[in-house]
Structure 1
């Protein structure tokens, strides 16, 4: 009997492979996220893979696990879209994916947003919690008016340098490529003070509708103005905003019809860089990109 069990285990191990995430794995990754009731569409997976890199676990020819990461220069990275099929959880595939991801990403400081189920996996790899993200979504109750163009206006190509600077000020990250691509596929807005950009927001198609984020500003009132500008052209469509529990936006988002539906724990491996200026992050591009 022991010999039969060993042979079965050997066959299973031979039929399992951890390989770099390629375009050919996108359909399998989509099925995994659908199994978890995550809102990603195929275009969201494609966009994430264009900007990042990662690994998949293949078992019997099917994708049963995924993990992606996005480099922000040589010092920082974010990680996400870490999924293991329910049918094969508990077999160490999540550990294999994370160990491969960290071997590729380190010595960068790595940030991720964890579900309750994933926390133990990350804590065993010395990730520590540093905050909580609240996911708000829904259809806004009423049409929103954009602030005046002297205060918030559409983003122009000439703004990219200021946007990258504000983003670095708020996050400590250098992610010009990521921001360029988010702006290319979305609609950007800048908040002006004395004619100088002091905040920005990007709205784009994502999941069931639109996501508003990143939103970087110097105060909750400035962040609300940027979100109002992003909501104004959308009308009655599904909108998602992922914001920190300390952002002071939660009650306002609830009031306009974007209910809090879940939360995630922000975790970091390495020393988290403090904000270097008054600008800070009020909403994420999504929980994977940060």
Structure 2
């Protein structure tokens, strides 16, 4: 059945069983900006699968969970096949744990990059970023931020970016009156997550991240990055340890960036 608000408490229980750090608010936000399926048994939620449409050509999938007592009964395949049916015609992106790789490969997904999860309590105070061009975003910047994200991600994510900006703090790289990069920090899980981060080069991405970290001294911070962007060692030096990784997979066409900007950090591993 379609995921509804009444499924949130059961979905939260599922993610707690998996030791995933989602709060009730994180489930509510994910359901508000996306769509999903829920499986129930005797009135109890035993499985979920969520997706988020990005234009007519792409979707991201995540929060795919089956309770331990129901695993091995085909519920995971049933949920995932329902997700693929609902997103039919779109290329689907997801980030897989080691345990999920076999299922996704059987459904035609291929690996194309690696996501690194960095996190920790920020114990070193970061000075306010002094680089020229880094500034807080205003409401008037939203359309330019959405356009920057679309060029960097290679797919239109305007609704998702607007929703993230509405609940988070946004900083931008202002270049000649235009937005050349942006970063959002928001409450998520055990503390805060920084992402998405889009920039034209690694220096710009680091400056945007530092601008966000300057506000988060003493807070628990998580950043999920693409491994090939080269920020991992730098985050380690800041005290944000690498604690895990995931395999980015796609069924269909990979999105292709348009221009110099690239995505350096994800909103989270479900949204992309």
Q: 1:262 aligned to 2:263?
A: no
| Aligned equivalents of 1:193, 1:143: Cα separation in 2 | 27
Q: 1:213 aligned to 2:213?
A: no
The one of 31, 43, 51 aligned to 2:25: 43
Q: Which has the larger radius of gyration?
A: 1
- Find the counterpart in structure 2 of residue 244 from structure 1: 226
Q: Deviations over 1:160-205 (max 9, x none)?
A: 1211111111111111111111011000000122332110000000
Q: 1:63 aligned to 2:45?
A: yes
Q: List gaps (5 residues or longer) in structure 2.
A: none
- Find the counterpart in structure 2 of residue 271 from structure 1: 253
Q: 1:33 aligned to 2:40?
A: no
- TM norm structure 2: 0.98
| Aligned equivalents of 2:196, 2:128: Cα separation in 1 | 18
- Find the counterpart in structure 2 of residue 178 from structure 1: 160
The one of 87, 96, 99 aligned to 2:78: 96
Q: List gaps (5 residues or longer) in structure 1.
A: 1-18
The one of 212, 227, 231 aligned to 1:230: 212
Q: Aligned-pair RMSD on alpha carbons?
A: 1.0
Secondary structure at the counterpart of residue 117 of structure 1: helix
- Find the counterpart in structure 1 of residue 64 from structure 2: 82
Q: 1:20 aligned to 2:2?
A: yes
Q: Deviations over 1:233-263 (max 9, x none)?
A: 1211000000011111000100000000000
The one of 134, 137, 140 aligned to 2:122: 140
Secondary structure at the counterpart of residue 147 of structure 1: coil
| Aligned equivalents of 1:70, 1:234: Cα separation in 2 | 28
The within-5 A match list for 1:113-132 is 113-132=95-114
Runs of 4 or more, structure 1, over 4 Å off, are: none
The one of 122, 134, 159 aligned to 2:141: 159
- TM norm structure 1: 0.92
Secondary structure at the counterpart of residue 144 of structure 2: helix
Q: Give the Å deviation of 1:149.
A: 6.8
Q: Deviations over 1:119-162 (max 9, x none)?
A: 11111110110111000000123111232373210011111121
| Aligned equivalents of 2:210, 2:146: Cα separation in 1 | 22
- Find the counterpart in structure 2 of residue 12 from structure 1: none
Secondary structure at the counterpart of residue 189 of structure 1: strand
- Find the counterpart in structure 2 of residue 107 from structure 1: 89
